[in-house]
A and B are shown apart, each in its own frame.
Chain A
Amino acid sequence: MNPSHNPDPLGYLDELRESLDSLGRFPRAKQLDLSTEFQGTAYGVVSSLGFCRLYGIDVPADLATQIGQALSPDMVVTVARVLAGVLTTAIDDAESLPSRFDDAEPIEDQSICTDFLHKMMEFWAAFVVIDDEYQSHLCEGGPLGEFSATMDRVLEGFQALDDLLQQDERLRLLSVAAEIPLLENWRRMLAAPFNESPPWWLDGTLEAAAQATAREILSEDAYPFRSGVAAQSSTPCQKSFPVFGKVLAEYTDRETYATAAASNYNAIGRERVALARQAFPLEGDEDVQVKLDLDLLHTSVPVAAEISVSKSGPADKVGQYVRCELSIPGLSEPLVAELGTTAGKVWLTETELKALREHQGSIGLILLTADGTCRAVLLGRHANERTI
């Protein structure tokens, strides 16, 4: 073996030793009571031992002796029962994963997903030990009884959890783990035979889901070329019109985001131009107010305009109805547009555009119902095309 090779990169042997010591400190009577605390400690012993096996960490002889004494068939059944219970809880958590993800703050949302994968690794580690003990029990001709019934519950729990987490929406959420070193780190640590047929979260499935999401985002970035707006236009024109809009996305309350100049991204059709375009994430459960600060004073190109808003994100959020209120200084009433579930347009008349010009082109756009990613585009029209 390479002398610089670290036999225990994450310190599982220390954890195993501590768990065994804790287990030994429980009075015999309390062990028989099967208190929650005792069961939790026993589960800790088994999962630490499982990680040692997954990562090929050699267990010293003294610890192996202690483990042999601790892991009676009754104890293993107890731990299997704990595992069946935590799998049931995990299934409930998996059900609510999308809504919890949407409701989470940035960074926390990623943690919710990686946390799930940490748990999956722990469940796997515990199962490796329980299953080994079960197979030994069978080989020795031990009674099936409760051990067998509990193993059935564990396997059913794994099946239900795997089925749920591998649904497209959840898979895509969990795929955020592919953006950090976590999955590759685990793969590198896995020892034979576990690295030969890894579970779904380590076999490339999450990376594929991440790539699919990336492709979708890239294609969304082509908006509005691929959307209904583009479909209305005539032959696409490759000529770029000068961009004279700039967009300031300003979030509610005290969070002000910096000004972002619109990119040179405006050739929608022969006569149609995108004056400004901005995508902004909508986070949390609050309404979002976006200020579009448009510099329309230095051009005579648009004579009419529309604000086109589209929304994307997790399916259960995108489906929520979006209402848009557009206020233009100088106009007494805000324009209200019902944007439907994912996208819609607010049409600006010449009067409204005139008011926009006269008031330095400032538009307040309030989107009611947040969550997801919203894209706002202001489209202009040349004088010879009066309608959009």
Chain B
Amino acid sequence: MAIDSLFPYLWDQLPDPAAANSPNGPGTSVELLERHWRKIVRKHFTRRSEPWRDFIPATALNALKASPYGPFDAEPLRQATIAALARLGEEFAACLKKPLAIVYWRLQADGKRNRCWLLLLPCGARAVVWVGQKKNSLRTCYFSGAVGVKPKGVRWRAALRQLVQEYAFHDDTTNEFVYPAATYRLEIQEPPEQRFGIRFATAQNWGFENAAAGSRWRPPHWNWPELGGPDAPKPADSSR
């Protein structure tokens, strides 16, 4: 009997972090292609400094690390993939329901432009989603090395602080970080692209007073409710 492929894997009914009234705006979905999943497994799950063991079931993680090139549709990797993607799905859902994302436009040298979400997951990992006209695609998901070595409970705060330092501005008259102006553009050289329309979604969740240019930042004091850990109940195969 033929088995349906897990890919493209789809997480649906997620809030769109770029919507004006997020997380209450229209729902959207994020898909994951097999080649991107293979990269995540091969490059990140196998990397010692990335603490995936803290939230992906050990059996699943070990199976994936043992065969990082797949095939992910065949057992035993199929169940491992389902379990790992279900945990990642919980992380996405929690992140987008908050939301805790940086959204911006990328303009490439060939004139193509697309929207991008840089998500900060509750576990402290960053995820990159490219927004398409029809589909949104998860391109990668990874722990920054400087964050991965921190104790589990403080990783997301450390990652948040990194991102604020990378995308917000320090005002030395008040010695505090402030929200970037709407006109702010990043010029990336190689490959050449511009990033513009940079927004912290939502500003308050990130620790800004509001989304006005110059709005000051303070480390946020809220915390994530405990999500399912590595030993959370195994989900059913309901990917498609």
Query: Which A residue's beta carbon lies closest to that of B217?
Result: A9
Nearest chain A residue, comparing its CB with the CB of B141: A108
**Chain B contacts with A in 114-162, Cβ cutoff 8 A:** 116, 118, 126, 128, 139-140, 142, 144-146, 149-151, 154, 157, 161-162
The answer, yes or no, to whether A249 is at the interface (CB within 8 Å) is yes
Q: Is A119 an interface residue (CB 8 A)?
A: yes
Stretch of B53-61, B84-92, B187-195 on the interface side: B187-195
Chain A residues contacting B169 (CB-CB under 8 Å) are: 181, 185
A131 within 8 A of B: no
Query: In the complex where A105-B39, A180-B186, A253-B33 touch, is A7 in contact with B166 (Cβ < 8 A)?
Result: no
Interface membership of chain A positions 187-217, coded 1 if the CB is closer than 8 angstroms to chain B and 0 otherwise = 0110000000000000000000010011001
* Contact A279 B173, CB 8 Å, known A108-B128, A115-B145, A180-B166: no
CB distance from B140 to the nearest CB of A (A): 4
Answer yes or no: B183 CB below 8 A from chain A CBs: no
Given contacts A5-B174, A182-B165, contact A122 B146 (CB under 8 A): yes
Residue contact A107 to B175, C-beta cutoff 8 Å: no
A387 at the interface (CB under 8 A from B): no
* B49 interface hit (Cβ, 8 Å): yes
Q: Is A321 an interface residue (CB 8 A)?
A: no
Contact status A278-B188, CB under 8 Å: no
* Interface-located stretch among B9-17, B19-27, B104-112, B230-238: B104-112
Interface-facing stretch out of A10-18, A341-349, A358-366: A10-18
B106, B174, B187 interface centre (most CB from chain A within 10 Å): B174
Q: A338 contacts the other chain (Cβ, under 8 Å)?
A: no
B interface size (C-beta, 8 A): 53
Cβ contact within 8 Å between B174 and A2:
yes
A111 in contact with B144 given A105-B39, A213-B189, A217-B190 (CB within 8 Å): yes
Whether A103 sits at the interface, judged by CB under 8 Å, is yes
User: A258 near B: Cβ within 8 Å?
Assistant: yes
A286 in the interface (beta carbon within 8 A):
yes
Asked whether B170 is an interface residue with its Cβ less than 8 Å from the other chain, the reply is: yes
8 A Cβ contacts from B165-223 to A? 165-170, 172-177, 186-193, 216, 218-219
Counting CB contacts under 8 A, is B97 at the interface? no
Asked whether, in the complex, the Cβ of A254 is within 8 Å of the Cβ of B190, the reply is no
Task: Give the contacts of B69-95 with A (CB-CB under 8 A).
Answer: none
A41-B189 contact, Cβ under 8 Å, with A108-B128, A114-B166, A115-B145: no
Which residue from chain A places its CB closest to the CB of B44 in the assembled complex? A108
The smallest beta-carbon distance between A108 and chain B, in angstroms, is 5
Knowing A44-B151, A89-B49, A179-B189, the reply to whether A7 touches B175 (Cβ < 8 A) is yes
Q: Is B43 close to A, CB under 8 A?
A: yes
Q: Does B240 contact A (CB under 8 A)?
A: no
Do most interface residues of chain A lie in helix, strand or loop, or is the interface mixed? helix
How many cross-chain pairs have Cβ atoms below 8 Å apart between A and B? 141
A227 at the A/B interface (Cβ < 8 Å)? Answer: no
Residues of A within 8 A of B162 (CB): 114-115, 118
**What distance in Å separates the Cβ of B127 from its nearest Cβ neighbour in chain A?**
10
Contacting residues, chain A, for B126 (C-beta < 8 A): 108, 111
B108 contacts across to A, CB distance below 8 A: 257, 281
Residue among A15, A41, A115 with most chain B CB within 10 A:
A115
- Contact (A119, B128) CB under 8 Å given A7-B175, A185-B169: no
Q: Is there a chain B Cβ closer than 8 Å to A136's Cβ? A: no
Given A6-B174, A107-B118, A258 and B112 contact (CB-CB distance below 8 Å): yes
Chain A residues whose CB sits within 8 angstroms of the CB of B157 once the complex forms = 15
Chain B residues in 8 Å Cβ range of A18: 154
By beta carbon, the residue of chain B nearest A5 is: B175
Complex interface residues of chain A between 159 and 196 (CB less than 8 A to chain B): 176, 179-182, 184-186, 188-189
Assess whether A385 is interfacial by the CB under 8 Å rule. no
Provide the bound-state CA to CA distance between A44 and B109, in Å: 42
The smallest C-beta distance from A23 to any residue of chain B, in angstroms, reads 11
Residue numbers in A under 8 Å from B186 (CB-CB)? 179-180
- Whether, in the assembled complex, A26 has its beta carbon less than 8 Å from a beta carbon of chain B, the answer is no
Tell me the bound Cα distance from A223 to B111 in angstroms: 19
CB-CB under 8 A for A257 and B110, given A10-B219, A217-B192: yes
Kindly list chain B residues whose C-beta atoms are within 8 Å of the C-beta of A253: 33, 35
Residues of B within 8 A of A (CB): 33, 35-36, 39, 43, 49, 106, 108-112, 116, 118, 126, 128, 139-140, 142, 144-146, 149-151, 154, 157, 161-162, 164-170, 172-177, 186-193, 216, 218-219
A-B contact pairs, 8 of them (CB 8 A): A6-B174, A10-B161, A106-B128, A111-B142, A119-B146, A180-B166, A181-B167, A186-B165
New contact pairs (19) apart from A278-B110, A286-B35, CB-CB < 8 Å: A5-B174, A7-B175, A10-B165, A10-B177, A37-B151, A41-B151, A93-B145, A105-B139, A108-B140, A108-B142, A118-B146, A176-B188, A176-B189, A181-B169, A189-B172, A217-B189, A254-B33, A257-B108, A281-B191
9 pairs of A and B residues whose beta carbons are closest in the complex: A11-B219, A281-B191, A185-B170, A6-B176, A105-B140, A260-B110, A118-B146, A115-B144, A258-B112
